[in-house]
Amino acid sequence: MDIERLWKNAQEELKIVLAPAVFQTFVSKTQLIILKDSTATIACPNSYLADINQKRYYHLFKSALDNQTKTNNSISFIVQDLIKTETQNFSAPLLNFSPKSTYSPNLHPRYTLENFIVGNSNNFAFAAAQGIIKNPGSTYNPFFIWGGVGVGKTHLMQAIGHELLKNNSALKIKYFPAETFGNDLISALKSKNMNLFKDRYRQLDCILVDDIQFIAGKEYIQQEFFHTFNALHMSGRQVILTSDRKPSDIQNLEDRLVSRFMGGLTVDIQPPDYEMRCAIITQKAEIYGLKLQPPAVTFLAENIQSNIRDIEGNIQQIAIKAQSGRVGEIDLAFVQNYLNPLSSSGQNHFSSTNLTPRHIISLCAKHFDFKTSELCGKSRKKELVFARHLTAYLLLTEINLPLEEVGRLLGGRDHTSIMHARDKIHSDLAVNSSLRQLIDQIKRSF
């Protein structure tokens, strides 16, 4: 019997034992290409199918083949895209397990370009994003966006994804946090599915990798990311990355990755300035159906300085409060009362985001018995430096103030010195339990 005939019979056998959809998806697209010395080589159109067939259906393939040849065969599945037309006479699939169907771009529907407010702090990043939308995979590749928490990095990156899909719905775009890449890699290694892993990432036309600083210090993940990056970048696919700092400031990131990341366009998004905060407050209030009087808008813009996520969270809370209290238009007194955590009502607000930077600074000054002006001044007296580090740490961790903003408030210091202050407190905390107690004590006074 020739090999084609034999394979046809074996397939018929498999067709009987498998559900039609399973047969259609996994078996119909395979082909026996070599059968020699009881060793069969079966071609699959992609590594995904090769993998599944090896893992799940090996024994079925084997018994079908053994029946036909009346011998004891061993099988290896290889990837080879041979079969294009063979499958048409089989019934249409009910299920489709191919990688395409499990693929989803993973974009948040609200993170669109229309919803993205442009101001001084992000206009450069916005302009670059428009360049990429017009011309993906060319000049601005990779596109690296960095900035503090909640300034809109994820939003902008996903907005690019939405626009690219609008222009070409066939593009395979995927958003994922770098952490997901790391987790996927680890499970691929565990289940010995590296081919599938590689395929999954390297078939994409555009990757949106969020919070890439996550891979710092993780040697194996960095190595694999490096190869994924190169595979995509070399074939002109668009890579967009975000991080909380610029590539050269990410500690324990391999030099070759730093230089790859800086090989395209690097932009930063700063915390919003006053004007932009007003615009954001107005827009978000509209979204949440909140009517704010102008003095309430300016008061909020003056007092929530940290980032856009905080602004949004606060607007949401105010809207809930206004609704439950059946308040119509929100005036200045309402938002003053809402924002002041030590207000006479003694209410504990939803989150610590109601703390203002000024509040934290003055409580820290009081705790260490310094004047605020000393805490934010130039002196490098030992006790002052420690108090300042701790204040920086609390501003960063309690209200997510961006490094630059903390530096500005604490006497015009550079963001790297704030970063060092934070790292210092962080590492001290690991070995010094009384420092933890001290921090808790200060936090209780908030």
> Residues interacting with ligand ADP, by CB under 6 A?
111, 115-117, 122, 147, 149-155, 280, 308-309, 312
Reading the block at residue 106, the tokens are 């993973």
Nearer to ligand ADP, 45 or 147 (CB): 147
CB of 250: closest distance to ligand ADP in angstroms?
Answer: 16
Nearer to Mg ion, 50 or 308 (CB): 308
Q: Decide if 117 contacts 283 (C-beta within 8 A).
A: yes
CB of 157: closest distance to Mg ion in angstroms?
Answer: 8
CB of 327: closest distance to ligand ADP in angstroms?
Answer: 24
Contact partner at residue 270 from Mg ion, ligand ADP, none, CB < 5 to 8 Å by partner kind? none
Contact partner at residue 116 from ligand ADP, Mg ion, none, CB < 5 to 8 Å by partner kind? ligand ADP
Contact partner at residue 122 from ligand ADP, Mg ion, none, CB < 5 to 8 Å by partner kind? ligand ADP
Cα-to-chain-centroid distance, residue 262: 19
Nearer to ligand ADP, 111 or 214 (CB): 111
Q: Which of 154, 158, 238, 314 binds Mg ion (CB under 5 A)?
A: 154
Nearer to Mg ion, 57 or 214 (CB): 214
Q: Does 228 bind Mg ion (CB under 5 A)?
A: no
Q: Tell whether omega for the bond before 142 is within 30 degrees of 0, i.e. cis.
A: yes
CB of 268: closest distance to ligand ADP in angstroms?
Answer: 11
Please tell me the count of residues contacting Mg ion according to CB under 5 A. 2
Nearer to ligand ADP, 154 or 266 (CB): 154
Query: Residue number with the shortest CB distance to Mg ion?
Result: 154
CB of 156: closest distance to Mg ion in angstroms?
Answer: 10
Cα separation of 365 and 387, whole Å?
Answer: 8
Nearer to ligand ADP, 152 or 182 (CB): 152
Q: Decide if 27 contacts 14 (C-beta within 8 A).
A: yes
Cα separation of 397 and 391, whole Å?
Answer: 10
CB of 400: closest distance to ligand ADP in angstroms?
Answer: 9
Positive or negative torsion for Cα 179, 184, 190, 195:
negative
Cα separation of 109 and 101, whole Å?
Answer: 20
Nearer to ligand ADP, 141 or 154 (CB): 154
Contact partner at residue 312 from ligand ADP, Mg ion, none, CB < 5 to 8 Å by partner kind? ligand ADP
Contacting Mg ion within 303-362 (CB under 5 A): none
Q: Which stretch binds Mg ion (CB under 5 A): 119-127, 145-153, 286-294, 344-352?
A: 145-153
Nearer to ligand ADP, 45 or 148 (CB): 148
Nearer to ligand ADP, 9 or 112 (CB): 112
CB of 172: closest distance to Mg ion in angstroms?
Answer: 22
Nearer to ligand ADP, 216 or 435 (CB): 216
CB of 423: closest distance to ligand ADP in angstroms?
Answer: 20
CB of 115: closest distance to ligand ADP in angstroms?
Answer: 6
Q: Which stretch binds Mg ion (CB under 5 A): 111-119, 151-159, 288-296, 328-336?
A: 151-159
Query: Residue number with the shortest CB distance to ligand ADP?
Result: 152
CB of 150: closest distance to ligand ADP in angstroms?
Answer: 4
Q: Could you give phi then psi for residue 268, rounded to 5 degrees?
A: -115, 155
Place of tokens 């002052």: 384
Binding site for Mg ion (CB under 5 A): 153-154
